[in-house]
Chain A
């Protein structure tokens, strides 16, 4: 087993070794279902637009909670010293931790399958946009996770890691929103619109899968994972 796989396995099991996973999944599903179902029968539309529209906001608070432990706890317990004196590359540990959180999030999101199931019993939804939106949700979650993981590496306090993670995700989400763009000089608008997380999610949640959006999310992931590796290496700075 490689070192990425070893880290992945350990971190993934850690979610289920403690009540974190069960609490997280339950609260996430109850909250997102309730927010969606509240309006579902009023609109009387057999689609999941409403569901995917609230997810970026739910993720804002839920995803930093998934990642806050990953580095902050290592620092707090002192296991960072143990981990980094194993024959592992910093990069592999970052990847292992990231992939574990990604699988955990994917499972959580897929557990919301009861909604498309209900809708297809009640009506005749278009499957394409729903699948596209699920993919988009996971891509957006992947970007949030990378941001949260990075902020976790900055502190040994999980609460600080959480708050920084929320702030980081919120910032990247908000800069592409209309009311921020409105205040900017005209020349900067396209740039900020492109950088904003939400802009890319909108088109995906309509069921449009554009390679530019996918590329955008992947770039955010790579960028923050890179920062993460640098921040883990910072103990070696002279």
Chain B
């Protein structure tokens, strides 16, 4: 549906994109993740034909963004960062203007506007001036605008910015729901947002794609060596010595002093192994008992931090 081929973009001396390529399939919800200034918005602006790339090509639904820009723009719904809107219009006037400029037919427009007011929860504020709306409502007007013409492809740049937690959940549900029939690109620097809504994630940093894959894939990739936390009832020194002998274990560290006979250890295993079972058996064979055994899994936060701060995984 969307195919981005090796695009680069610089603004004077500043390089924003250094060769970004990716594809988005029909019906996919792609999370585009990166810290501020990584090149997310620039990439979106290139896909939506706001500005061209310096090199490389982008096609949307088979149309090239530079040769067939109008066709591309007809098929896209776009919510730019910060949801820019005309402040001197009423919500309903604004949506009517969008219907005009997108040339939505007379019979269809009433339907679509009504539907958008409903879906985005704007019925109560339809006659209010946009200037007087709160941040959250403006964001919803922006969303309504992007979906008014029922586009196949939606590009949302930070859609939940400025919303309260309940609204965030609503919007996420809405995006998930939309993702069933539409192709969505969701830009964000908020991790739970993309892990909750997206089927695939691309992480971009400093103008380059640093990782891509399903949320679970990325998490396990970043995991590296398994780290386990185990709490055992028994003599600390003996237990530590026994655990160190378990197959595939590379390090054992006692965490603090024993409390009521319970000692917690942090155990590191070899990469790619799951040593939990062996540890359990070793403790039981030693005649001690386990009160807790837990695999510390790397979260998407870890992946993100590792990849975007230059730390090696």
Contact residue among B52, B88, B103 (Cβ-Cβ distance under 8 Å from A14): B88
- B42-94 residues with Cβ-Cβ distance < 8 A to A are 45, 48-52, 54, 70-71, 73-74, 76, 78, 80-82, 84-89, 93
Contact A6 B88 (CB under 8 A): no
Q: Within the assembled complex, what's the spacing in Å between the Cα atoms of A235 and B49?
A: 11
With A10-B100, A85-B73 known as contacts, the answer to whether A77 contacts B87 (CB < 8 A) is yes
Contact residue among B54, B76, B86, B88 (Cβ-Cβ distance under 8 Å from A85): B76
**Most-contacted residue by chain B among A5, A10, A13 (CB, 10 A):** A10
List chain A residues, Cβ under 8 A from B71.
87
Contact B45 A81 (CB under 8 A): yes
Contact A6 B97 (CB under 8 A): yes
| Nearest CB of B to A194, in Å | 39
Contact B84 A79 (CB under 8 A): yes
Contact A3 B50 (CB under 8 A): no
Contact A85 B78 (CB under 8 A): yes
Specify the chain A residue showing the minimal Cβ separation from B53. A238
With A1-B103, A6-B97 known as contacts, the answer to whether A85 contacts B48 (CB < 8 A) is yes
Q: Cβ of B101 < 8 Å from any Cβ of A? A: yes
Q: Within the assembled complex, what's the spacing in Å between the Cα atoms of A86 and B94?
A: 14
Q: Cβ of B205 < 8 Å from any Cβ of A? A: no
Q: Cβ of A117 < 8 Å from any Cβ of B? A: no
Contact residue among B84, B88, B100, B103 (Cβ-Cβ distance under 8 Å from A82): B84
Contact A85 B49 (CB under 8 A): yes
Specify the chain B residue showing the minimal Cβ separation from A79. B84
Contact residue among A5, A7, A85, A89 (Cβ-Cβ distance under 8 Å from B50): A85
User: Contact size class for A?
Assistant: 20 to 34
Contact A7 B101 (CB under 8 A): yes
Q: Cβ of B145 < 8 Å from any Cβ of A? A: yes
With A85-B76, A87-B73 known as contacts, the answer to whether A79 contacts B50 (CB < 8 A) is no
Q: Within the assembled complex, what's the spacing in Å between the Cα atoms of A87 and B48?
A: 10
Contact A3 B101 (CB under 8 A): yes
List chain A residues, Cβ under 8 A from B93.
13
- A183-227 residues with Cβ-Cβ distance < 8 A to B are none
Contact A87 B84 (CB under 8 A): no
Contact A6 B48 (CB under 8 A): no
Contact residue among B51, B85, B101, B102 (Cβ-Cβ distance under 8 Å from A77): B85
List chain B residues, Cβ under 8 A from A238.
52, 54
Q: Within the assembled complex, what's the spacing in Å between the Cα atoms of A17 and B90?
A: 10
Q: Within the assembled complex, what's the spacing in Å between the Cα atoms of A105 and B162?
A: 40
Contact residue among A13, A77, A236 (Cβ-Cβ distance under 8 Å from B84): A77
List chain B residues, Cβ under 8 A from A1.
100, 103
List chain B residues, Cβ under 8 A from A13.
93
List chain A residues, Cβ under 8 A from B50.
81, 84-85, 235
Specify the chain B residue showing the minimal Cβ separation from A89. B70
Specify the chain B residue showing the minimal Cβ separation from A20. B88
Contact A87 B87 (CB under 8 A): no
Contact B52 A81 (CB under 8 A): no
List chain A residues, Cβ under 8 A from B100.
1, 5-6, 9-10
| Nearest CB of A to B126, in Å | 16
Specify the chain B residue showing the minimal Cβ separation from A86. B101
With A235-B51, A236-B52, A238-B54 known as contacts, the answer to whether A82 contacts B74 (CB < 8 A) is no
**Most-contacted residue by chain B among A2, A7, A235, A238 (CB, 10 A):** A238
Residues of A within 8 A of B (CB): 1-3, 5-7, 9-10, 13-14, 17-18, 77-82, 84-89, 235-236, 238
Residues of B within 8 A of A (CB): 45, 48-52, 54, 70-71, 73-74, 76, 78, 80-82, 84-89, 93, 97-98, 100-103, 145
**What are the 8 closest A-B residue pairs judged by CB atoms, nearest first?**
A78-B84, A6-B100, A87-B73, A6-B101, A85-B48, A87-B74, A81-B80, A79-B84
A sample of 23 cross-chain residue pairs with beta-carbon separation below 8 angstroms, ordered by A number, consists of: A1-B100, A7-B101, A10-B97, A10-B100, A14-B86, A17-B89, A18-B88, A77-B84, A77-B85, A77-B86, A78-B81, A78-B84, A79-B85, A81-B84, A82-B84, A82-B85, A85-B76, A85-B80, A87-B103, A88-B73, A235-B50, A235-B51, A238-B52
